Structure 1
């Protein structure tokens, strides 16, 4: 599941602010270099960043398996036409490149989630956005990071239950409707129990958060982030 995994990789030892800076720079470069050659270079960069985070590429893809059909659908739909020749491959090139670019960004984001404790992500937000706004945003980030893996696990259990009951023999549209309805029902039930748990534990808007400090390891990461941003600016200008 897409959640924090304790470890001793280089990415684990970086300050979360450095990792966020690298992510922001990577996103800027990904949307500046949109050619196949540029995306090929970014693919190599992504593999390197995943290696620094001790996250194999196939593990990152497994974490994003629910997003992959949506990314693949865009070029497929764009290539279809209402008349002859019915399929225009050239029309699918641009959406395919855009979908692949998004996949690279999500893979880098998955590396961040797997190497950064939720409390550190919340601390970054609350210490850089002042007042109640920062507290609300930090709380929201923490809730999403903690709640999303639970929903993913529920969805996996629903699909396993369908397969055990020969649900795979039903038409595709019926299977999709059944999974979506069960997932939504489970999500609402989870949210109610989550709210009750927060009240029972006297949820605090401004808890004591972990200390954040830069080390010498963050220097190269910040240089990489700056290089990404510079490359993106040069391309746009």
Structure 2
């Protein structure tokens, strides 16, 4: 199941996207400033509250980000290994393991944002936070990525399933990676051409009428939490 926006009535759905973006930034800064067992334990509790407020299960979010886990798990092994005595540096591997877990927490918070925020609201929030042509460019790019990435993920999933149906799963790992990679790249280029044609056919505008945004009382705790995380990161 592709991780994308779903309408709902959770607390996170009712929040202004600007407050959610600010919380993500503050959380990431706190995670990078306190990559310790105690700090990550506190941030894990925060992530649990974020997932509960968004109605998103940790299992579903982790399943969508499973492609990054091999890299996150391999990093501590490479950091701990050495070419000479003592051959294994446990402290370096443990520090890298904490850094990998920090990345997982940041991804879970991002997943909650994607599930509860429409693409047009994200674009509107970015263009209001960053004025001028730079803001329009960033907002447009984010909107394109949020719309295009789930389609590419679905294409890769269909290519993999089609290969397995033709006994492609019995090939070697390198052959399977080559097949999925080449086919996925060809599909991505084809979709990019059709996407550009669709934009021209619809008279794409750099400055469209964006949805109105407004803060509410529900945003106050989120803003306060963002300020607290920023203060904690600065300590």
| Residue 103 in structure 1 maps to residue 104 in structure 2 | yes
Q: State the match for 1:131 in structure 2.
A: 132
User: Relative to structure 1, is the Cα distance of residues 84 and 155 closer, same or farther in structure 2, using a 3 angstrom cutoff?
Assistant: farther
Alpha-carbon separation, structure 2, partners of 1:194 and 1:92: 44
1:98-145 Cα distance to aligned partner (Å, 9 max, x none): 111011001100100110000011001112222222111111010000
Alpha-carbon shift at residue 73 of structure 1 (Å): 2.0
Corresponding residue for residue 173 of structure 2: 172
Provide the TM-score with structure 2 as the length reference: 0.94
* Correspondences of 1:109-124 after superposition (within 5 Å): 109-124=110-125
Note closer, same or farther for the CA distance 1:98–1:167 as it changes in structure 2 (3 Å cut). same
Secondary structure of the residue that 1:67 maps to in structure 2?
helix
Distance, in Å, in 1 between the alignment partners of 2:164 and 2:82 is 35
- When the two chains are superposed, the root-mean-square deviation of aligned CA atoms in Å is 1.5
Note if 1:149 corresponds to 2:150. Answer: yes
Other-structure match for 2:217: 216
Instruction: Single out whichever of 137-146 and 67-76 deviates more from structure 2.
Output: 67-76
TM-score by length of 1: 0.94
Q: Corresponding residue for 1:26?
A: 27
Question: Any residues of structure 2 matched to 1:1-237 within 5 Å, and which?
Answer: 1-82=2-83, 87-234=88-235
Higher mean C-alpha deviation, range 189-198 or range 68-77: 68-77
* Structure 1: runs of 5+ lacking an equivalent: none
| Count of residue pairs brought into register by the alignment | 234
| 1:45-90: CA deviation from partner (whole Å, max 9, x where unpaired) | 1111110011111111012112222212211222334457755544
Q: Secondary structure at the match of 2:35?
A: coil
In 2: Cα distance, 1:80 partner to 1:167 partner: 34
Q: Which runs of 5+ in 2 are unaligned?
A: none
Following superposition, the deviation at residue 177 of structure 1 comes to 1.6
**Distance 1:82-1:43 versus aligned 2 partners, 3 A rule:** same
